[in-house]
Structure 1
Amino acid sequence: MASLSGYLPYAFALIIAIPFLVLLRQFVHSYITLKNQEIKILSIKSNSENKTHSYERMTLFLERIKPSNLIQKFDKDLETHEFIFLTEKTINEEFEYNSSQQLYITKNSWQHIVDSKLAVIDLLHTTYKGFNNGPNLDEFKTVFIMSYMNGEDYISSTIESLRKEIIIIA
């Protein structure tokens, strides 16, 4: 019995320490779980912000390619073919600059954006081809804007569909 009495203080300390170790383990496990949840929430929030930013950038792109905004660009002393070339170049460059936004935008909306871009470029060329001889720039701009206004407002409908999608996401 004398030999067991030497281990009694260690046994007593072990009995007292075990509940503390169990509580410490539960605390650490709970802390790690909460931190993982926080990281997931921040990741979701960041992804949502990226999506929102993408929709904003593509809406701005669409606004910039509206014919009413395009006709105000560039020098008034340009030839019509120079205006068409510079306008098409600007549209394509800005589209390429924003092309990474398709990662955050639905496939359907991205296709509407591409279709709107191509329709504006096509309208530039068909308007020019509609003249028998080279029009002056003011005549061309007038016919260009009127052709867009008399047709389907595909840019505004694309912006509206983006607006509806961003409401769903947010």
Structure 2
Amino acid sequence: MASFSGYLPYAFALIIAIPFLVLLRQFVFTYIRLKEQEIRLLSVKSNSENKTQSYERMTLFMERLKPSNLIQRFDKGLAAHEFIFLTEKAISEEFDYNASQQLYITKSSWQNIVDSKNSVITLLHKTYEEGNGNINLDEFKTILLMNYMEGEDYISMTIEDLRKEIIIIA
């Protein structure tokens, strides 16, 4: 029995340490679980913010694509064909810059954006061909606006679709 008394302080320390170690383990696992939930919540929030920013950027692109905004872009001293070239270049560059936004936008909305961009470029060329290349820039801009207003307002429809989708996401 005398030899057992030498282990008594160790047994006492072990009895006190075990509940402490169990509580510490529980605390660590709970802390890790809460941190994982926080990370998941932040990634969902971040993804939602990315989607919102994508819809905002593409709505801005669509607004800039409207012929009423395009005709104000460049110097009045240009010939109509120079205006078309610079406008088409600016549209393509801005579209290329925003191409990564398709990751966050639905396929149908992205397709509407691409179709709208292509329709504006087609409208530019069609308007120029109607004037047989013999119209000045002011006449070209007037005819461009008239042609756009006579047709389907695909840009406004695309913006409205984007607006409806962002309401669903938010």
- Report TM bin, short chain: over 0.9
Contact kept? 2:62, 2:155, Cα under 8 Å: yes
Q: CA deviation at 1:132?
A: 3.8
CA 1:164 to 1:133, structure 2 compared with 1: closer, same or farther past 3 Å? closer
In structure 2, what is the equivalent of residue 32 of structure 1?
A: 32
CA RMSD in angstroms comes to: 1.0
1:74 aligned counterpart, secondary structure: coil
Once the 2 structures are TM-superposed, how far is the Cα of residue 130 of structure 1 from its aligned partner?
1.2
The Cα offsets for residues 16-48 of structure 1, whole Å up to 9 and x where unpaired, read as: 211111000000110111111111111111111
- Percent of aligned positions with the same letter in both sequences? 78
The one-letter code sitting in structure 2 at the alignment partner of 1:166 is I
Q: Which moved more, 1:126-135 or 1:106-115?
A: 126-135
Q: Which amino acid aligns with 1:131?
A: G
Deviation string, structure 1 residues 69-102 (Cα, Å, up to 9, x no partner): 0111111111111111111111011111111111
Cα distance in 1 for residues equivalent to 2:57 and 2:107: 16
**1:164 counterpart residue number:** 164
The answer on whether the counterparts of 2:116 and 2:154 sit within 8 Å (CA) in structure 1 is yes
Matched residue SS, 2:3: helix
Cα contact 2:79–2:137 (8 A) shared by 1: yes
Determine the structure 1 residue equivalent to 2:136: 136
Task: Name the counterpart of 2:48.
Answer: 48
Moved over 3 A (4+): none
Q: Distance in 1 between matches of 2:145 and 2:133?
A: 19
Unmatched tracts of structure 2, length 5 or more: none
Pairs within 5 Å for 1:6-85: 6-85=6-85
1:125, distance to aligned residue in structure 2 (A): 0.7
Report the 3-state secondary structure (helix = DSSP H, G, I; strand = E; otherwise coil) of the residue aligned with 1:2. Answer: coil
